[in-house]
Structure 1
Amino acid sequence: MKIFPSLQLHMPQVDLQEIMDYLSSTDERRTYPLWQEDDCLCFVARGREYRSEFHLNPSHELQYSLKGDLHLHYRTPEGVEKVAVVPEGHCLYQPPMVPHSPRFPPDAFQLVVERMRRPGEVDRFHWFCPSCDNLLHEETFIVNDYGTDPVSRAYDNFWGSLEFRTCKKCGTVMPER
């Protein structure tokens, strides 16, 4: 008797320490996708000490601190920046479209579980002026493969443009990384 006739068994098992060791050994990659299924995207992220943008993600997120502490900067609906500290061994649930900026050192690691993006969904990356908090720039990406590292691509575009880093309200230039 088959209890679950439509269930296809594909149950990947990964060695998280091996993946953290790999990410520690290279500066070329800061994320390592574990799997990308229709309803579940899972990856390991190595800290980006330079992170300053706020990511607006159309999916729910679970962030688990594998090694080190996460300082998750986020913006309230009123635009106030706050910080949630997620100690090693703890996890945080985040609803969709919360502007967030995960900040943790390069020797720290997060396990992140999200949903793959649905057709038409767009990820947004916002930078704010360090002087007056005005929106400096927005990058948008359709993320259909997390292996392309959309965060790094957004940063390359932002840091590569003096215009994007210059506040149109007060003239402050966001310092380079």
Structure 2
Amino acid sequence: MYYERSLSKAPVIELEEAVKELAETGKRVKVLWQEPDALTFVARGREYRSEFHINPSDEIMYMIKGQMNLHIRKEDGSEEIVVVPEGGLNFTPHGMPHSPRFPPDAFLLVSERVRREGEADRFQWYCPSCDALLHEETFVVSDYRADPVSKAYSNFFDSEEARTCGKCGNTMPRPEGV
């Protein structure tokens, strides 16, 4: 069920149907609609999520099912965890490095705007041993249905060089299921 723009329609989405579809298919993202100023999708948790996403758009996140630990990196570089319970709503401003972590049987509704010309999403991984920046992936996201998060993960975890810390030499292991 993907919304096609029409002035004669006002879409009504059954979230339970979107959740059921993701659970049954194993897919990670279901785009509900994607318009010039509005992008809304349901995401299923990734048990291996570890990167920080830097989005050029503000995000509103609603925890449909389960609980999310939203890791954020503050301006001073320190990390904080914001717990978003089932039914909880969160606002994450553009430019804030954040990492929504929740299990594959949990589901999140995300609403943001489509990227403008020249904007790019960034995905950053930090060394689990010394907290140095390990790697950054940058994507121009013109269509969220292409699942840029999965592509960023593949690029990172398929490269031992990207996963090896230049500061302390630690190599982040490649998790199962990526």
Q: Which runs of 5+ in 2 are unaligned?
A: 1-5
Q: What SS class does the counterpart of residue 25 from structure 1 fall into? A: helix
Corresponding residue for 2:23?
Answer: 24
| Alpha-carbon distance in structure 1 between the residues aligned to 2:8 and 2:66 | 33
**Alpha-carbon distance in 1 for matches of 2:34, 2:149:** 17
| Higher radius of gyration, 1 or 2 | 1
Partner residue, 1:4? none
Letter of the structure 1 residue corresponding to residue 173 of structure 2: P
Aligned to 2:46: 48
Give the equivalent residue in structure 1 for 2:170: 172
Give, in angstroms, the shift of residue 77 of structure 1: 0.5
1:77-114 Cα shifts (integer Å, max 9, x gaps): 11101000011111001100100000001110000000
Q: CA deviation at 1:14?
A: 1.3
Distance 1:9 1:94, change over 3 A: farther
What is the one-letter code of the residue matched to 1:161? Answer: S
Deviation beyond 4 Å, 4+ runs, structure 1: none
- Aligned-pair identity (%): 58
The match for 2:79 is 81
- Counterpart residue identity of residue 19, structure 1: A
- Measure, in 2, the Cα distance between the counterparts of 1:74 and 1:96: 12
2: distance between equivalents of 1:38 and 1:176? 36
Q: For 2:47 and 2:28, locate their aligned partners in 1 and report how far apart those are by CA, in whole Å.
A: 11
* 2:13 alignment partner, SS class: coil
> Which letter does structure 2 place at the counterpart of 1:23?
L
With normalisation by structure 1, the TM-score equals: 0.94
Question: CA shift at 1:9, angstroms?
Answer: 4.2
Query: Residue 118 of structure 2: which of 115, 120, 130 is its match?
Result: 120
Match of 2:132 in 1: 134
Unmatched tracts of structure 1, length 5 or more: 1-6
**Structure 1 residue 10, shift from structure 2 partner:** 3.1
Length, aligned pairs only: 170
Measured in 2, the distance between the counterparts of 1:55 and 1:90 equals: 20
Distance 1:61 1:15 in 2: 21
| Deviation (angstroms), 1:70 | 1.0
